[in-house]
């Protein structure tokens, strides 16, 4: 029997596949290791391969398309209604195979390596922004315990904190600790700027518009922010 549609349940090491013929009859249920997956599909005639649009899906989609197969990616929430039993690899592969054959299914476009690279930069920068916000809130919370209230805005932490600490009587150990936290905050902030700059450069190379912005910034050196208070870490550069 010729296999016309295959559902692949993606994983890190062991992949579950489910294949049907043109009548919808199950003709293939198999587990494959990562090293054997591409080798197996090289032995098959061109067919439709369905996968959930999750981790490594676009990588495998490009590999399968390169050897002549047709690949369709689907959002996991659209595949879930086709799971007939309790969730497991076998049931998931069968549901993916069924969903891929539906004419009204919404499919996800396969991304190129360049598109994935830019998307990765967006995600990394978003992580730095969230970390920066968390660290700034931590600094404000620590200072508020001693009655020190910082104005709103991330820039105020770097510009006003040194003067605030120098003119306020606080325990020496607390001052050292706050200096360490602020140095980490500035490091995160500069890292986010560098990623934004890299994103703009990569977007220009690939001929697309950057969504994160973030022009070129000079890199700050925080190597001396260790055991002693070094307010150079707080300077905007």
Dihedral sign (CA 206, 209, 210, 213): positive
- The pLDDT assigned to 106 comes to 94
- The pLDDT assigned to 197 comes to 75
Asked if pLDDT for residue 85 goes beyond 80, the answer is yes
- 110-141 residue pLDDT tens: 999 989 988 888 888 888 888 888 888 888 88
Asked if pLDDT for residue 232 goes beyond 60, the answer is no
Place of tokens 């989609």: 61
Instruction: Give the whole-angstrom CA distance, residue 51 versus residue 72.
Output: 7
Asked if pLDDT for residue 144 goes beyond 80, the answer is yes
Determine what percent of the chain is predicted with pLDDT higher than 90. Answer: 43
Cβ atoms of 85 and 91 closer than 8 Å: yes
Asked if pLDDT for residue 235 goes beyond 90, the answer is no
> Structural domains in the chain?
5-108 (3.30.420.140), 113-234 (no CATH)
- The pLDDT assigned to 221 comes to 39
- 197-224 residue pLDDT tens: 776 676 666 565 444 344 433 333 333 3
- The pLDDT assigned to 20 comes to 96
- The pLDDT assigned to 204 comes to 67
Average pLDDT over residues 7-25: 94
Asked if pLDDT for residue 6 goes beyond 60, the answer is yes
Asked if pLDDT for residue 237 goes beyond 50, the answer is no
Give DSSP secondary structure letters for 103-168: TT--EEPPPPHHHHHHHHHHHHHHHHHHHHHHHHHHHHHHHHTTT--PPSSHHHHHHHHHHHHHTS
Cβ atoms of 82 and 27 closer than 8 Å: no
- 48-66 residue pLDDT tens: 999 999 989 999 999 999 9
What rounded mean pLDDT belongs to the chain?
82
Asked if pLDDT for residue 166 goes beyond 80, the answer is no
Average pLDDT over residues 6-28: 94
Asked if pLDDT for residue 229 goes beyond 70, the answer is no
């Amino acid at each position: 029997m010729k296999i016309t549609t295959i559902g692949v349940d993606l994983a890190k090491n062991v992949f579950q596949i489910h294949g049907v013929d043109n009548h919808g009859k199950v003709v293939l249920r198999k587990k494959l290791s990562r090293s054997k997956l591409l080798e197996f599909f090289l032995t098959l005639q061109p067919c439709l391969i369905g996968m959930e649009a999750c981790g490594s899906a676009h990588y495998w989609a490009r590999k399968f398309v390169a050897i002549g197969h047709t690949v369709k990616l689907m959002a996991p929430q659209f595949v879930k209604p086709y799971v007939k039993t309790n969730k497991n690899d076998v049931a998931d592969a069968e549901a993916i195979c069924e969903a891929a054959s539906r004419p009204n299914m919404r499919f996800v476009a396969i991304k190129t390596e360049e598109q994935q690279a830019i998307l990765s930069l967006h995600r990394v920068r978003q992580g730095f922004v969230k970390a920066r916000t968390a660290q700034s809130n931590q600094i404000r919370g620590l200072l508020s315990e001693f009655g020190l209230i910082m104005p709103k805005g991330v820039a105020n932490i770097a510009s006003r904190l040194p003067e605030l600490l120098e003119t306020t009587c606080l325990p020496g150990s607390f001052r050292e600790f706050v200096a360490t936290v602020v140095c980490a905050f500035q490091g995160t902030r500069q890292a986010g700027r560098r990623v934004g700059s890299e994103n703009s450069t990569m977007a220009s190379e690939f001929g697309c518009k950057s969504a994160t912005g973030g022009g070129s910034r000079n890199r700050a050196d925080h190597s001396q922010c260790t055991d002693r208070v070094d307010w150079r870490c707080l300077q905007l550069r």
